[in-house]
Amino acid sequence: FFYDMKYDSHRISPSPVVHVRGLCEAVVEADLIDALEKFGSICYVMMMPFKRQALVEFSTVESADRCVSCGAKEPVYIAGQQAYFNYSTSKRITRPTNADNPNSGNKVLLLSIQNPLYPITTDVLYTVCNPIGSVLRIVIFKRNGIQAMVEFESVQCAQKAKAALNGADIYAGCCTLKIEYARPTRLNVIKNDNESWDYTKPYLVRRDRGKGRQRQAILGEHPSSYSDNGYGSPCPLLPLPGNSRYKLTSADVPDMVSYPLPQSSSSYSAHTSSSVAMVSGLHSSKMNCTRIFNLFCLYGNIEKVKFMKSVPGTALVEMGDEYAVDRAITHLNSIKVFGKRLNVCVSKQHAVIPSQVFELEDGSSSYKDFAMTRNNRFSSAGQASKNIIQPPSAVLHYYNVPPCISQEHLLRLCTEHDVPGFVKFKMFDAKPSSKTISGLLEFDSKTEAVEVLTVLNHYQIRIPNGSNPYTLKLCFSTSSHL
């Protein structure tokens, strides 16, 4: 294997940027710096958490060469696991900040939260970041998945936070942080709430918030479950890797913290917790209970779906918990499906009752119970952690497809169901023993991909002489294009 590595490394021309593979799940940027700075000064690190890979830019090609050569001759360990090195095809890691000075930092960091299974609020991010470096302001936005900008007191604080948290999970197996320096050098906050907060101006808080602000905090397996008094049992803090130079001391943070229930005051009406979502703007002839399930199941388990007779084009969707509803609102509110814009919000109802069942335009029932379906994707913690929570995109990831199915088969499937065909196709390499294949389908637009997923997700593929059909599974890909 080392011989191959060496051969590979000479085939790609030397570059100051080194591609690192084989990282363990718990690795953060500080671990890479600890292990690799012996080869030379490091300018920048870009983490790729879900691939267990990273790009490391050294200040000189000679330092990168020492790293690649050493890794080809003897094992190099990062956070206790052997890693593998090669030159990157790029000569520099692109970054949003000052392009001319490779060492330029910024006291504002851009955090992308990947696989956000649980709500991300200013309280959550403050609790994660502030123990490492003093936080002045936070702004959360949801244009491209969940992202946030965090402004620290100094560039040094921001550098320290980037190294300690880049690649870390806020909760076990999800809410993974990918961190870069942001373009703006200062954040402008006009109000203090779940989405933005200026910690230098406590008076920005709205006066109608009932009992005032309560600290929401970090973080263990998941936010502690709500109990009758609004507090679950406290959950342990997120541990930073033991060998991290930025390890939090017990003096920095409390031992146990819990996730409080929002106060029931008028200002919280938008965030009322309920496991039922209300969806309006549904196409009268093209949307039914199953198609709602196909789209909403990407963000949580679906218990029941019911169309409302009194309000045409509107349905209630009972999900597994309030977090699932929160994710569905974050990612599906305002998207277009069959030419109509969906409106997704929290319902005042806390359960869906199968009353007033009628026939929809396509002949199917206005009510369906999905509690027992095997197509729910969040039925266990292990199953839930495999789901990549993504906003709708023009690229669909397909999986659980029999190996005999070709690109032509999938295109024909689109034609037969009167949905747009894909423009690019990629099949992932599968092991010879694998019973199924997977890959990516790129469409002309996000809207087309949404429609295809809504119609074809969970389609039963029958193969000649096959006893059981294969269930085609689709989700939105992390790739924006092929």
Per-residue b or e along 348-377, where b marks 16 or more CB atoms closer than 10 Å to that residue's CB: eeeebeeeeeeebeeeebbbbebeebebbb
Q: How far apart are CA 266 and CA 34, in angstroms?
A: 49
Where do the H-state alpha helices sit in 310-406?
A: 322-332, 381-386
Q: Helix, strand, or coil here: 158?
A: helix
- pTM score above 0.85: no
Q: How far apart are CA 192 and CA 71, in angstroms?
A: 49
User: Which residue in 339, 353, 165 sits closest to 241, CA to CA?
Assistant: 165
Q: Helix, strand, or coil here: 421?
A: coil
Q: How far apart are CA 198 and CA 138, in angstroms?
A: 7
From first to last of its 482 residues, what are the pLDDT tens digits of the chain? 333 444 444 467 899 999 999 998 878 999 999 999 999 999 899 988 778 899 999 999 999 999 999 999 999 999 889 999 999 998 888 876 554 455 567 899 999 998 888 889 999 999 999 999 999 999 998 766 789 999 999 999 999 999 999 999 888 878 889 999 998 899 999 889 889 999 998 777 654 433 333 333 345 555 544 333 333 333 333 433 333 333 333 333 333 333 333 333 333 333 457 899 999 999 999 999 999 999 999 999 999 999 999 899 999 999 999 889 989 998 999 899 999 999 999 998 889 988 889 999 999 999 999 999 999 999 888 888 888 888 899 999 999 999 989 999 999 999 999 999 999 999 998 888 889 999 999 999 999 999 999 999 999 999 887 778 999 999 999 887 88
Q: How far apart are CA 106 and CA 151, in angstroms?
A: 9
For residues 299 and 344, the answer to whether their CB atoms sit within 8 Å is no
Residues constituting the chain: 482
**Mind listing the pLDDT tens digit for each residue in 94-120?**
876 554 455 567 899 999 998 888 889
Amino acid at 300: G
